Amino acid sequence: MTLPNMLQITPLLSACRAGTLTPTDIVREVAARADAYAAKDPAVWISRVPMEKLLARAAELEKLPAADLPLYGIPFAVKDNIDVAGLPTTAACPTFAYEPSESAEVIKRLEAAGAIVIGKTNLDQFATGLVGMRSPYGQPHCVFNADYVSGGSSSGSAVAVAAGLVSFSLGTDTAGSGRVPAAFNNIVGLKPSRGVISTYGLVPACESLDCISVFAGLTSDAWEVERVAGAADARAPFSRTLLPRSLPFTTFRFGVLPESERFFDGNEANAALYAQAIKRLEQLGGTPVELDFAPLKETAALLYSGPFVVERLAAIKDFYHSHRKDMDPTVGTILDGAANYTATDVFDGIYRQHALQQIAQRMWDKFDVMLLPTAPRIVTKQEVIEQPIAANSLLGAYTNFVNLLDMAACAVPAGFAPDGLPFGVTFVSPAFTDEDLAALAGRFHEALGEGIGVARTEKPAVSEKQDGPSSERVLLAVVGAHLKGFPLHWQLEKEHAVLRETTLTAFDYRLFALPDATPPKPGLVRERGFAGAGLEVEVYELDAAGFGRFVASVPQPMSIGRITLSDGKEVCGFLCSEAVARSGTDITATGGWRSYMQEK
């Protein structure tokens, strides 16, 4: 099997489980891709796992059943401030480098799920920056134009995904480092709620704020990584258990910047793309509500222009005092600023942070989620050289406040400007809404219709077509509001459902538009002896656990039963109480719900 250009998790996993692909095939291909891409951008990696170790890891996995491991054979990259046993941790500072005795907890959990570490990626030194330019190991660049920054501090991690070198990567996010590089490289950046992924084994930037984040091509992939990696850990002082909170999906309110407060630093193309993003989210069922950005902007100022810079110094104080001369000049200058603050200033800053959290909490009474630009615009490397602090501050305009206010965030692509450079938006929501946030952002990303990363013209490949379902997986036919592009399709995305085929039912089914249904939906009824033409259905494949969760959410009068398709095959599917269905309008003659809604 030839690997897709963008290594999304579902097709790789499906192929491995079907026996058409092996972990050995994957590691050979990704190693070759990494070697080839180094000719374009040699600054992506700081260190890589030797080929013989990759092959040994692959062989070890091949002794295990693929169906038992949710990330079997999936290749990933790791930001080089996260410990991986066998590779040095540098934090992009050679003098600081050390050999960890064990891997970080997040690495252990991902490897236990079958994922394969390919190597350690470049970053702004000590994760201090949003530009990706503060590293002695070189400066990765935007995958679309080498004159522009990759974004940081998780620079190499974002490029590794966007260039198709790995399926996902780990970054970190304190001020936006897991979101800004996603926007600049046309990929997804999921910043979990603080503490739900253990930071044990992470070189801290600001320990009370740091999050390990996930870059991927799709939000469903990013969420799957968070789901596998997340767990409470007593060794991480700010660790928390994810206690899921729900977001509405069919109708919801989303906070947007008032036109008078939309700042794009003169980039009119990005301003237009943000306006288009608002309209797209309206089409998905959202109602825009203007938000007051002033308290968010004030919160952001605490991070770099206030006493929280002292926490950055606290993370590496011993190294700073003995090796200040060995640090990147801009990073050193930022940490020098900690000397300007007293202990009193720090506590005043903490008090103000909590007061602003109270204000922000009341915002959620007005809307369910925020939709913000990820950054005003991308900057050139030359701009950063000329104005390193100012350029960095520009990029954090819409990201710096999120962790200080204890929110979750998911950055997704939002189109391209006429100059070919990408633009992104970020969905922001209350803590612990991570799963629903990723699903909503994924609906937006799918509606955009763009490709992933550098393959912007290649639509995301969900799965390789197979003759039948993989083991312990279920086929489900949907006929109405769960069809692709309809209001409840997100529920299938949430369970990582894979579209297998679009086909017809057997000829003896009728379809009725149910009365007073919100959102509108049909009821399917079988009528023995009726000779129709068959009704359009989409058949999806889900794993057994996902199918169970999906069925549990189905409300009356709907139920899941057995449906016969036009080829005689039986699959699970939506049925309806016959009495309720026949109280509605018979729409069988339209051929299916999609045709009926288009006519209507």
Query: What positions carry a catalytic annotation?
Result: 79, 153, 177
Q: Which tokens sit at 56?
A: 């040994």
Q: Strand, coil or helix: what is 223?
A: helix
DSSP structural state of residue 589: G
Dist CA 189 CA 179 (whole Å): 5
Contact 291, 363 (CB under 8 A): yes
- Tell me how far apart the terminal alpha carbons of the chain are, to the nearest angstrom: 44
Positions of E strands within 142-185: 168-173
Residue 466 to residues 175, 444, 476, 565, 588, Cα–Cα distance (Å): 43, 28, 15, 18, 31
Q: Strand, coil or helix: what is 282?
A: helix
DSSP 365-411: TT-SEEEEES-S---BHHHHHH-HHHHHHHHTTTTTTTTTTTEEEEE
Contacts with 294 (C-beta within 8 Å, 6 or more apart), sequence order: none
Q: In 10 A of CB 168, how many CB atoms?
A: 29
Q: Give 352's strand partners.
A: none
Question: Given the DSSP bridges, would you call strands 168-173 and 75-79 parallel, antiparallel or unpaired?
Answer: parallel
Task: Specify burial of residue 350 (Cβ count, 10 A radius: 0-12, 13-18, 19+).
Answer: middle
Dist CA 554 CA 329 (whole Å): 58
